[in-house]
Amino acid sequence: MIHLMIFLPVLGSLLLMATPRRWREEVAGFIAALTLGLGLLIWRAGGTELFSIPWIDALGVTYSVQLDGVSLALALVTAFMSFIACLYTARRIPNPGTMLALILGMETGLLGIFAARDLILFYVFFEDALIPALLMLAIYGKDRRMKALVKFAAYTLFGSLLMLVSFIGIKYLGGSPTFALADLRANPVQGAMQTWLYIGFLLAMAVKLPLWPLHAWLPDFHEQNHESGIPDVMGTLYKVGGYGIFQFGITLFPDASLELRPILMGLAAFTALYAAWIAFHQTDWKRLLAYAGLSHMGFVALGVFSLNETAVIGAMYLLAFQNLYTGALFLSVGMLQERIGSLDTRVGGVMTQAGALGGLTMALWFASIAVPGMAGFIGEFSILLGAYQISPWLTFIAGITTIAAAAYALTAFQTTFWQARPLGGVRVADLQHVEWLVLGLPLAVAIFFGIYSAPALNLMQPAVKAVLSALGGQ
């Protein structure tokens, strides 16, 4: 079942090429829904066992996949938001076949990233997810998209090269027979070389978290993508650096993780606060959301780098569920742009004409700023609680972000939705048809897991314990 879940979307992407134009939306929606259904069945079964067979035997590359714990949670969120993206694409994009094919193709890459238990397989899926992201920007982006595309590709490929070099070094310096995670754990690299390899791996993952100062591609990537917000949803899902550090970094570099912990926690806390400060000064909704997402990733990194069980669980919880409300916020901004023709935060008075759009957007912002009762609160509170046990001062610095987040979110919301509508401004239509589902379903899930977190926490906790066991109880 795991193989079908991973590869069904890309098969559906290819199928769309042979599907008559009038049926493409239905076929893509069915494939995305079926993929989500398979994920739910895997969750009900308690995850999957490790499946491993030789792939490129001469190089020690295996096809090793497994979905359980954290990886299953992230795969479920990816499948869910890919389904939401397909729903809105059918509504928003004229002749949406190409966009739908790219969404499904990217979904396979993302699911493969979370399922991979072989470093080269992880690398292959990592690159597979990059190609549709670049094509979305190149085909559907705005006037300055090529500059944003070159920056995004340069940062990502630079990180990919460092990651590949680190992976090769891990295998050959450790003496592992394959690139499979189980073999690499049994044959660890020791001493100073572990630290250097970890630094190379960290630089690659820092691009895809992202972390300061390797975040410069992010605001332009979101600003220049299609106004609908659909590519931004998939781009948010592609922030896999936190998962990579959790699944591979801690496991393969335990000594280096402990050695560099204070420095990395400091970098994460600075990223969270810096991004929130920059977000406060943005007047473009997409750039504001880009920096808000960067601030969230600083929190995720703080939790992961702390190596504290409570904080790491919170980091994975936040990483999973921020994809829901951040992705939905990009879509709500896309709906706003479609109605008024602008992404400026100072348009004013939208709430008086589009109350449902304003109300759902406000609720999604409450989820984003971690209001109690939302999934984001559980993640951020757990991170602060756990990280405080390791470094109170760095946790205090990161904690200021919660105040800053409320400031930038509510200020931008007020100037867009509450202030007086300018004379001569176009009338703003309220939510219609599928738009209710596109915003309402992610919000409902964020509320459900904010009130009843046990299913997700019970899924994640054993996986976190297993990963942290590599530290030997330190």
d(CA 274, CA 78): 28
For residue 9, pLDDT beyond 90 = yes
Could you tell me the end-to-end alpha-carbon distance of the chain, in angstroms, rounded to an integer?
A: 37
Q: How many CB atoms lie within 10 A of CB 221?
A: 25
Q: Contact 176/186 with Cβ under 8 angstroms?
A: yes
pLDDT in tens, 110-131: 999 999 999 999 999 988 888 8
d(CA 288, CA 89): 23
Residue-level pLDDT at 152: 83
| Of 139, 95, 116, nearest in space to 52 by CA | 116
Q: How confident is the model at residue 420 (pLDDT cuts 50, 70, 90)?
A: low
How is the chain split into domains, by residue range? 1-471
For residue 202, pLDDT beyond 80 = yes
Q: How many CB atoms lie within 10 A of CB 384?
A: 22
pLDDT in tens, 227-246: 888 888 887 777 788 899 99
Q: Enter the tokens of residue 147.
A: 């500059």
Q: What is the mean pLDDT of the chain?
A: 86
Q: Enter the tokens of residue 51.
A: 């499946």
For residue 356, pLDDT beyond 90 = no
pLDDT in tens, 55-113: 888 888 999 999 988 999 999 999 999 999 998 888 878 888 888 999 999 999 999 99
DSSP secondary structure letter of residue 249: I
Q: Contact 263/306 with Cβ under 8 angstroms?
A: no
